[in-house]
Amino acid sequence: MPRRPTIPTALRGVTFRGSEAIREGLLTRGQLTSSAWRRLFRDVYVHRTAEIDHRGLCVAAVRHVLPSAVVTGASAAYLYGVRLVGPTDPVEVLTPAPHGPVQGIRLHHGPLDPGDHVEIDGLRVATPVRAVWDLVRHRDLADAVRFVDPLLRLGRLSADEMAKYVWEHRGEPGCRLMEQTAQVADAGAESPQESRTRVALVLAGVPKPQTQFVITDGGRFVARSDLAWPEYRVALEYDGYDFHHDRADLSRDRARLNRQLIAGWLVIHVTGDRLRRDLPGVVAEVLAALRSRGWPGTPRLP
């Protein structure tokens, strides 16, 4: 029976530079290229049994590849609690000077104010507002907002901080995008799908909806809707795949829908699959519902 290869103590559970491990006699080149080791970046490895999350990737990228870099954008958001990227997504960093492409790393370069970063567990990380500044300049509005909404909800960021940052950087590219993001973002959003849907609606000319709106009838609780336009009594609700676990769930849901109708509300229901396949169709339905309730606005054509 073949012997299981021994993991050098110095390499157990940590990321390391392959060239250094070979130079120090910890591994041979043949051992390094075996299936026992997983390559994270060029010349950066970890044992295949080690569990590496996105934070671990950030540590490896800065420690072994770009020591002058500051973690920013989606990766910084992850470190602040917004778990929208994973162990297979590129690490997003900012470097003070241009740098050639690095596989597995999303590189930005440019100046960084002294107050634009903090240290977290030995990593230099962009402040939430600076991370958002980098997000809005390199992603479309809907993609940026799905990170900003949870940062607001977690209390890591505020609209006032965004406005202050724009004022301090007035005249620089990105100010208008930051302002637009602040206007559209909402701490009430509870999922990336809700964020994307709300942005698509606002870009289509729909009035900004209220999030997690509580519908009442005569002071009695009826339902809580993901997005709502109380003035027109129109709401949109997002149903996940496991929305109905059994007949009892279905029965309760139908009773709730009936109460919403009796209270005078028009409710549009969408699923995650529908939002991915036909977001324009969902927007058209919301526009039609609002117009049927007296909304005088004119939608913006794509």
Asked if residue 61 and residue 178 are part of one domain, the reply reads: yes
Asked if residue 251 and residue 174 are part of one domain, the reply reads: no
Q: What is the CATH number of the domain that holds 240?
A: 3.40.960.10
pLDDT above 90 for 178: yes
Asked if residue 204 and residue 172 are part of one domain, the reply reads: no
pLDDT mean over 247-258: 70
| Model confidence pLDDT, tens digit, residues 264-277 | 999 999 988 898 89
Banded pLDDT at 248 (limits 50, 70, 90): low
The predicted structure's pLDDT at residue 261: 84
Helix, strand, coil fractions of the chain, as percent rounded to 5: 40, 20, 35
In this structure, of 22-36, 167-181, 254-268, the range with the lowest mean pLDDT score is 254-268
Banded pLDDT at 2 (limits 50, 70, 90): very low
CA distance 134 to 131: 5
| Model confidence pLDDT, tens digit, residues 36-83 | 999 999 999 999 999 999 999 999 999 999 999 999 999 999 999 999
Complete edge-to-edge strand list for the sheet that includes strand 105-109: 105-109, 91-95, 70-71, 123-126, 117-120
With a threshold of 0.85, does the pTM exceed it? yes
pLDDT above 80 for 252: no
Asked if residue 172 and residue 69 are part of one domain, the reply reads: yes
Structural domain includes residue 196 = yes
Structural domain includes residue 302 = no
**Is there a contact between 14 and 21 (Cβ–Cβ < 8 Å)?**
no
Task: Give backbone dihedrals phi and psi of 252, rounded to 5 degrees, phi first.
Answer: -65, -40
Asked if residue 31 and residue 144 are part of one domain, the reply reads: no
204's CB contacts (< 8 A; 6+ apart) are 283, 287, 299, 300, 302
**Is there a contact between 106 and 73 (Cβ–Cβ < 8 Å)?**
yes
Number of domains observed in the structure of the chain: 3
The predicted structure's pLDDT at residue 9: 87
pLDDT mean over 13-17: 93
Of the residues 131, 155, 184, the one at which a domain ends: 184
Asked if residue 64 and residue 171 are part of one domain, the reply reads: yes
Neighbours of 293 (CB within 10 A): 15
200's CB contacts (< 8 A; 6+ apart) are 142, 279, 280, 282, 283
Of the residues 184, 204, 235, the one at which a domain ends: 184
CA distance 248 to 238: 19
Of the residues 150, 184, 218, the one at which a domain ends: 184
Asked if residue 174 and residue 207 are part of one domain, the reply reads: no
Asked if residue 276 and residue 236 are part of one domain, the reply reads: yes
Asked if residue 96 and residue 170 are part of one domain, the reply reads: yes
Tell me what percent of the residues of the chain surpass a pLDDT of 70: 93
The predicted structure's pLDDT at residue 162: 97
CA distance 168 to 142: 24
Asked if residue 163 and residue 86 are part of one domain, the reply reads: yes
Q: The domain containing residue 18 runs over which residues?
A: 9-47
Asked if residue 175 and residue 59 are part of one domain, the reply reads: yes
pLDDT mean over 3-15: 80
Mean pLDDT of the chain: 91
